[in-house]
Amino acid sequence: MSPNDNKTTGHHHRLLSLSPKQCSSTVSQSIDAPLPLVWSLVRKFDNPQAYKLFVRSCDLSSGDGGAGSVRELTVVSGLPAGSSTERLDRLDDDSHVMVVSIIGGDHKLVNYQSTTSLHRAEKGGRTVVMESYVVDIPADSCEKDTCMFTDTIIGCNLKSLAKITEKMASREVP
């Protein structure tokens, strides 16, 4: 799936251009839960550990969780990172879009920016979550490995989001 495919990913995921030292991809997940429920977890910039498996803790260092806020994440042990500093660039509750940039930390995701958008599926009350990103390719890596690593982390997070929200939705059904 191409991030530039407007029919597939929507206009929120179009990239203007990448430098030769950057890569990008889009990961999607269909979730059997209503969009408002899924969005209620995704939009909480100050609580990514609610569904992101690799986040141990999160503290806001500035802001109130809205656009412009900055968070300090502690990553679970075993990953090639310990911390990440991230800024919420955009939070649109009407369009269900969130844009986050990594602005610091001890990891290899330099100049990383992701766009997450939620869409109502055409049938069955399902939600489709799409997350696209652009990131610099580390000097000691290649495009394929950088995308594979990043896609794997995002995929795990979206599968966790699906599992949690589907369980929550099943409790709400009378």
Q: Where are the domains of the chain?
A: 6-172
Candidates 97, 149, 62, 100; CA nearest to 72 is 62
User: What is the CB neighbour count within 10 angstroms for residue 55?
Assistant: 18
pTM of the model: 0.88
Query: What CATH code is assigned to 6-172?
Result: 3.30.530.20
68 or 2, which is more confident:
68
pLDDT in tens, 10-61: 566 666 578 889 999 999 999 999 999 999 999 999 999 999 999 999 999 9
Distance CA 35, CA 167 (A): 14
Which percentage of the chain shows pLDDT scores above 90?
78
